[in-house]
Amino acid sequence: MSKNVKAILLPAVVLTAICIVCAAALGGVKLLTQDKIAEQAAAASNEAMAALFPGASFSDSLPPGTGTKDPDGLTFAALQDGAGIGYAVTSAAKGYGGDIQVMVGFDTALRVTKVIVLDASNETPGLGQNVVKAEWLSQFAGTDTSMAYDEVDAVASATYSSKGIYNAVIAAGEHLAALIGENGGGN
């Protein structure tokens, strides 16, 4: 009888103990690293903004000086010597393996100046991930939301990834246009 009880209870007790220890370890590591992880994400976003508008300073009031802000916190105005020179918008769209995150730079006429991919880690390495290359992304420079997908020179065999970038860029443009339009800023 007692042998039976042991044979049934022991595995359950050991498994429970292992689960508790593992859960505690996970919680501990999460606590230790979460600040650092948030810091890394913020650093990556700041780095991308600086790459879009070298030497500019950034403000979250849109258009600059009005005090209106993007309710989603995705849009920043770039300022040089106090004058607005453009906007940086973070946006995401579905690629092949998940969301592709991009940051798009716009000039004051809301035309794309530059696209930077923040996260395309779920795209196929060596294939879909070729969309992060600067020379491929440079085709978006000068376009606006009227650009059709037919105009994109997609990466061969990576249609979903190419379309993901296109959709994210268009979404960023529309997001910005809606914001600026709302504020009556126009150009």
Integer Cα distance of 105 and 116 in angstroms: 8
DSSP 140-151: GTT--TT--GGG
Nearer to another protein by Cβ, of 21 and 178: the residue is 21
Phi (first) and psi of residue 96, to 5 degrees:
-85, -45
Q: Does 98 bind another protein (CB under 8 A)?
A: yes
Q: Strands across the sheet with 112-119, in order? A: 57-59, 75-80, 83-94, 99-107, 112-119
Q: Does 4 bind another protein (CB under 8 A)?
A: no
| Subset of residues 9 to 68 that bind another protein, contact rule: CB under 8 A | 10-12, 14-15, 18-19, 22-23, 25-26, 29-30, 32-33, 36-37, 40, 44
Among 69, 94, 97, 145, binds another protein (CB under 8 A): 97
> Cα 137 vs. chain centroid, distance in angstroms?
15
Cα gap 39→147, rounded to integer Å: 35
3 is an interface residue for another protein by CB under 8 A: no
Contact residue for another protein among 1, 150, 156, 187 (CB under 8 A): 156
Q: How far is the CB of 50 from another protein (least distance, A)?
A: 16
Nearest to 154, CA basis, from 131, 126, 124: 131
Closest contact distance (angstroms) between CB of 99 and another protein is 12
5 touches another protein by CB under 8 A: no
